[in-house]
């Protein structure tokens, strides 16, 4: 049995639209301009999260809709990475942005292709969209762009950046904005033991959200220099009475601290 959606009362139509997955809504909007305008009046109030993945084998764009307060994955848009590009991902985000209320975007880019993930990141930031997770393995990123990404990542739940070729030179001050993250991983950076010490002191004094840090540097860390002035007993630090204890571990060039 079929019926005309536009003949339904508005509240009834709204409930029908809410039960449809993201791509069904996009297909419905293609039926006519009148239907498109009618549907957008509803969908612009539907909160949608986008998960974007691009690696050597596949490309995903997975919208997660908010059904009665519970975010659930909708259908997955999948293509081989040979057919996909950063520019196409931007067009996908734009199509969702024009229809839905995008709450957050999670970006996972791990590819050795010529794709420039900075272009995607910059587009998302220019649209004032909130990035929830940024996982990024990049061939090369200029020092200016590296610092720009770091400065704008203070409120991410997860930030992971792996520099594959050129290791950027970073200081403790460069990383200060990241104490607002939930979890931080930086791989293959030029970062001294003295800067690590300054960053840890700033983090212990200021942060109430960052619960895990992993830094892999080019040169080995000096453990005594890195933890100088920090109360560490048996590999554990208690920076503040209101905080959980943190376990601190060193493996030559790798430093790890996390809640225990």
pLDDT confidence of residue 70:
41
Instruction: Tell whether 206 is covered by a domain.
Output: yes
Residue percentage of the chain with pLDDT more than 70: 81
Where would I find the beta strands (DSSP E) of 147-200?
Answer: 158-163, 183-189
Please count the structural domains in the chain.
1
pLDDT confidence of residue 254:
86
Return the axis-axis angle of helices 33-43 and 22-29, rounded to nearest 10°: 150
State the residue range of the domain holding 248: 140-260
Strand partners, 256: 214, 249
Higher pLDDT, 138 or 145: 145
H helices of 152-249, in order, are 172-175, 193-206, 223-226
Half-sphere exposure of 97 (CA within 13 A, CB side): 16
Instruction: Tell whether 198 is covered by a domain.
Output: yes
Instruction: Tell whether 100 is covered by a domain.
Output: no
Tell how strand 101-110 and strand 131-138 pair up.
parallel
Over residues 142-176, the pLDDT tens digits come to 888 888 999 999 889 999 998 887 788 999 999 99
Instruction: Tell whether 221 is covered by a domain.
Output: yes
How far apart CA 253 and CA 255 sit, in angstroms, is: 7
Instruction: Tell whether 116 is covered by a domain.
Output: no
Instruction: Tell whether 126 is covered by a domain.
Output: no
Instruction: Tell whether 259 is covered by a domain.
Output: yes
Instruction: Tell whether 73 is covered by a domain.
Output: no
């Amino acid at each position: 049995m079929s019926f005309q959606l536009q003949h339904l009362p508005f509240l009834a139509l709204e409930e029908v639209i809410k039960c449809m997955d993201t791509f069904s809504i996009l297909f419905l909007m293609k039926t006519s301009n009148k239907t498109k305008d009618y549907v957008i009046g509803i969908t612009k109030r539907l909160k949608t999260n986008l998960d974007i993945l691009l690696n050597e084998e596949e490309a995903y764009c997975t919208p997660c809709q908010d059904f009665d307060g519970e975010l659930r994955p909708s259908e997955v848009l999948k293509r081989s990475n040979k057919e996909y590009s950063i520019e196409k991902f931007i067009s996908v985000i734009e199509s969702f942005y024009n229809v839905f209320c995008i709450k957050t975007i999670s970006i996972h880019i791990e590819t050795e292709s010529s794709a420039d993930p900075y272009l995607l990141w910059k587009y998302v930031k220019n649209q004032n969209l909130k990035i929830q997770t940024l996982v990024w393995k990049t061939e090369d990123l200029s020092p200016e762009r590296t610092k720009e990404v770091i400065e704008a990542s203070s409120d991410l739940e997860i930030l992971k950046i792996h520099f594959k070729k050129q290791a950027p030179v970073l200081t403790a001050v460069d990383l200060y904005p990241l104490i607002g993250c939930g979890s931080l991983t930086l791989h293959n950076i030029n970062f001294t033991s003295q800067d690590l010490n300054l960053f840890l002191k700033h983090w212990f004094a200021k942060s109430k959200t960052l619960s895990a840090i992993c830094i892999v540097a080019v040169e080995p860390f000096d453990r005594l220099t890195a933890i100088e002035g920090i109360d560490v007993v048996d590999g554990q630090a208690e920076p503040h009475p209101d905080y959980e204890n943190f376990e601190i571990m060193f493996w030559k060039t790798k430093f790890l601290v996390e809640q225990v």
